[in-house]
Structure 1
Amino acid sequence: MPVINRLADLQPEMQGWRRDFHQHPELRFEEARTAAQVAKLLASWGIEVHAGIAKTGVVGVLRNGDSGRSIGLRADMDALPMEEATGLPYASRNPGRMHACGHDGHTAMLLGAARYLAETRNFDGTVHFIFQPGEEGGAGAKVMMDEGLFGRFPCDAVYGLHNDPTLPLGECDIRDDVMMAAADRFHVTVRGAGGHAARPHGGIDPIVVGAQIVTALQTIVARRVDPLESAVISVTQFHSGTAENVIPDEAMLLGTVRTLAPAVQDLVEATMRRVVETTAAAHDAVAEFTYRRGYPPTINHADQARRAARAAETVLGAGRIHRDKPPVMGGEDFAFMLLERPGAYLKLGQAQGAKGAANVHTVQYDFNDDLLPVGASFFATLVEQEMPRG
């Protein structure tokens, strides 16, 4: 793999940063230690540092030449509320917190690229290194933008990436359009009439009503969404009752919805509301339905996707860039940045046999450190490609 020689040499140092972040995972908007380490390293390389954006976000600014061009490179920093079970010597020291999505690796890769670019300055323009908090459910990208990210740090284009345990190390996935799904959430409260479990006819059982709603919701994708479109409705929580012999007054259902197209998103939300309310009414119960739109679909701009693919091919070699893999139903808040600026998001494979193959958001996951110089080389190559000297 023709990674940049200097970044190959920096691999042990990047691994040290990454494993330090891994040992000290921090949840969304609590990434104080991580942000401080990032800011310290950037400053030590002569990069201008701006901290405290979206509470714990950091932006490093590196200027060279006078072309007026600019580019944004983004890495996420936050961990997940999970208990690590890898047994690794550098496993999480923070109970109930774990870097189970590889954001520790994304941060280390961008730091490696920043160090290399600060040393070589083989570009003409301004690079904004965006270290973002709160990707895991906090919409940290949007919070940074709401606090003036692109006004303070103008970017002609912005790029982000993610590790992918389903792809072999040395391969890349990038599309010209939709990469990832919209990620929405819903909450249903079913109100019935409680009573003695031996006399169910004397009340309205919200558990039975809730069970009917769960089943009915599954017909929406099967029978209302075009089979050529994509949608997922998952009821992930069902809470009700406190005793075996008591019919409760209420039941709560919570879950998530994933869609790729805005029209499908609208259809699913409207149909879910109707199904929930009418199913409850058919049993003389009342249901309150709340639908919260979260991250929009992650949609690459075609020109920037082609540019990112060209830089990835420079690093990985011909024939290793997948341009037509289907999108996935996971969500990503980099989508907000792509609504405001041209850009692209790609996935870099990290699987080497069993190494790096555990899926993200599992207690066995670990970032593959062999990917560090690859990702850093992609970022650096992209800057040199897009803002060449001379």
Structure 2
Amino acid sequence: MDTKTLPPNDWDDYIALRRDIHRHPELGFEEHRTAGLVAARLKALGYTVTENIAGTGLVGTLRHGTSTRSIGLRADMDALPIQETTDLAWASSTPNTMHACGHDGHTAILLAAADAIARRRSFDGTVHLIFQPAEELGGGGGARRMLEEGLFQRFPCDAVFAMHNMPGWPVGQFMFKDEVMMASADRVIVTFRGKGGHGAVPHQAIDPTIAAASALMALQTIVSRTIDPLQSVVISVGKLHAGATYNVIPDSAYMELSVRTFSAPVREQLEALITRICTLQAESFGATAVVDYQRGYPVLVNTAAETQSAVAVARQLFGDDKVVTDIDPLMGSEDFAYMLQECPGCYLLIGNGHIGAHDAATGLTHCMVHNPGYDFNDECLAPAASFWTALVEHRLSPDPIAR
């Protein structure tokens, strides 16, 4: 299939659409405007649209032919609570909210693919386009809620696929990883409690900051001395807070951790180790520790057959030089992992280029997601939408030899 499936004026339309979504970002479970825009576009293209799944999520369904085969393609719609610092003409108009992860691009890509798929009708089966809310919210985000509301029971898929833009790689480069591709991500909140007092007489207090500091250092021995060195583990302290002034020993100290690994068994081990270390370190200083271990996204595992199928489509469409297989797994996480626990499929990446958006505040450009100067690269729209279209036509081909 030619990557010029959509005429140039249509590409301009989808670039404008992407920039409109960027200008009007919405946080998780608040994507009312975005979902309404998506629903209207899909209905105009002839899709049956089911709205209000997990609040603001929706699915567009298109059937053609007589086959019972089906495929799901997923795009996330939510923005992040970040104040945009670019000087782009389409910069966010909403304070402290911006598309700093390219979900505006993902939404526009899938809508452009929806256009091509509907007009070409070169498939036999059912296409479900899943527009998901709240990917950025953690364990209780949009994918999990959609599944809890019966996503794959209501919209059965033989396989499901998702794509994310990746800064730092050439524009239009497709990247794949069989099996484990992204880490689990857990949030751990630890509250250390002691007895407050005057900073001049610390012996009359029980200082929770000492317990927190000791636990912070001891936690790193999990990675260096307890877990198999061949296993990948990250334990990062993202928040550490205690007290309100310099000469008062506080009653409590508060710490938040991000915990990541590629192994489900190691994930179980980490919870027990972190709980034990924080509890016993606190006790050794006469304090106590309460550990709230919150499970976030699970390990993202691609299935082999679906990954190989997607790789074959990318190679056929763009050539071997545009396809990278077996990339290193990423310590980032994705709630598409929940969908892959229930349905075979593949999560893949597309290069967003080496040059990011200009940051008006610093004069710098940024090539990192979750950054106030980030912007999706519109040059990704054509190859990404063409890939989705080709993947649908490949997997739902009327010709069994072509699949």
Instruction: Verify same fold: TM over 0.5.
Output: yes
* 1:57 counterpart residue number: 57
Q: Which amino acid in 2 is paired with 1:35?
A: A
Q: Which whole-Å CA distance do the structure 2 matches of 1:35 and 1:238 have between them?
A: 37
| Residues 1:265 and 2:267 are matched in the alignment | yes
User: Cα distance 1:352–1:196, how it changes in 2: closer, same or farther (>3 A)?
Assistant: closer
Q: Which whole-Å CA distance do the structure 1 matches of 2:172 and 2:24 have between them?
A: 28
* 1:368 counterpart residue number: 377
| Residues 1:227 and 2:229 are matched in the alignment | yes
User: Cα distance 1:21–1:175, how it changes in 2: closer, same or farther (>3 A)?
Assistant: same
Query: SS at the partner of 1:122?
Result: coil
Query: SS at the partner of 1:295?
Result: coil
Q: Which whole-Å CA distance do the structure 2 matches of 1:316 and 1:168 have between them?
A: 13
Q: Which whole-Å CA distance do the structure 2 matches of 1:254 and 1:260 have between them?
A: 20
Pairwise mapping of residues 125-140 of structure 1 onto structure 2 (< 5 A)? 125-137=125-137, 138-140=140-142
Q: Which whole-Å CA distance do the structure 1 matches of 2:391 and 2:187 have between them?
A: 35
CA deviation vs aligned residue, 1:314-360 (integer Å, no higher than 9, x gap): 23211322212210100100000000001000001111545696210
* 2:121 counterpart residue number: 121
Counterpart of 1:322 (choices 321, 324, 328) is 324
Pairwise mapping of residues 271-290 of structure 1 onto structure 2 (< 5 A)? 271-290=273-292
* 8 Å contact from structure 2 (residues 190, 254) kept in 1: yes
Unaligned runs of 5+ in 2: 358-364
Counterpart of 1:168 (choices 167, 170, 177) is 170
Q: Which whole-Å CA distance do the structure 1 matches of 2:171 and 2:12 have between them?
A: 18
CA deviation vs aligned residue, 1:58-99 (integer Å, no higher than 9, x gap): 100011000111000000000000000111110000101010
Using the TM superposition, give the Cα deviation of residue 18 of structure 1 relative to its aligned residue in structure 2, in angstroms: 0.6
| Residues 1:344 and 2:337 are matched in the alignment | no
Query: SS at the partner of 2:223?
Result: helix
Q: Which whole-Å CA distance do the structure 1 matches of 2:318 and 2:366 have between them?
A: 19
Q: Which whole-Å CA distance do the structure 2 matches of 1:134 and 1:347 have between them?
A: 19
CA deviation vs aligned residue, 1:17-41 (integer Å, no higher than 9, x gap): 1101101110000000000000011
Q: Which amino acid in 2 is paired with 1:375?
A: A
Q: Which whole-Å CA distance do the structure 2 matches of 1:178 and 1:89 have between them?
A: 39
Counterpart of 1:295 (choices 276, 292, 297) is 297
Using the TM superposition, give the Cα deviation of residue 2 of structure 1 relative to its aligned residue in structure 2, in angstroms: 5.5
CA deviation vs aligned residue, 1:238-277 (integer Å, no higher than 9, x gap): 1211222111100110121010001211121111111101
Scaled by the length of structure 1, what TM-score is found?
0.97
* 1:32 counterpart residue number: 32
Q: Which shifted more, 327-336 or 306-315?
A: 306-315
Q: Which whole-Å CA distance do the structure 2 matches of 1:20 and 1:367 have between them?
A: 12
Scaled by the length of structure 2, what TM-score is found?
0.94
CA RMSD of aligned residues (A): 1.5
* 1:87 counterpart residue number: 87
Using the TM superposition, give the Cα deviation of residue 167 of structure 1 relative to its aligned residue in structure 2, in angstroms: 1.4
* 8 Å contact from structure 2 (residues 72, 130) kept in 1: yes
Q: Which amino acid in 1 is paired with 2:35?
A: A
* 1:334 counterpart residue number: 336
| Residues 1:380 and 2:389 are matched in the alignment | yes
Q: Which amino acid in 2 is paired with 1:266?
A: E
Q: Which amino acid in 2 is paired with 1:270?
A: A
* 8 Å contact from structure 2 (residues 169, 354) kept in 1: no
Q: Which amino acid in 2 is paired with 1:364?
A: G
State how many pairs are aligned: 390
* 1:237 counterpart residue number: 239
Q: Which shifted more, 339-348 or 221-230?
A: 221-230
* 8 Å contact from structure 2 (residues 161, 345) kept in 1: yes
The runs of at least 4 aligned residues of structure 1 exceeding 4 Å deviation read: 352-357
User: Cα distance 1:261–1:8, how it changes in 2: closer, same or farther (>3 A)?
Assistant: farther
Q: Which whole-Å CA distance do the structure 1 matches of 2:186 and 2:314 have between them?
A: 31
Q: Which whole-Å CA distance do the structure 2 matches of 1:119 and 1:48 have between them?
A: 15
Query: SS at the partner of 1:110?
Result: helix
CA deviation vs aligned residue, 1:119-157 (integer Å, no higher than 9, x gap): 110111110000000100242111001111111111111
Using the TM superposition, give the Cα deviation of residue 293 of structure 1 relative to its aligned residue in structure 2, in angstroms: 1.0
| Residues 1:147 and 2:149 are matched in the alignment | yes
Q: Which whole-Å CA distance do the structure 2 matches of 1:4 and 1:378 have between them?
A: 11
Q: Which amino acid in 1 is paired with 2:31?
A: E
Query: SS at the partner of 1:3?
Result: coil
Query: SS at the partner of 2:352?
Result: strand
* 1:78 counterpart residue number: 78
User: Cα distance 1:305–1:9, how it changes in 2: closer, same or farther (>3 A)?
Assistant: farther
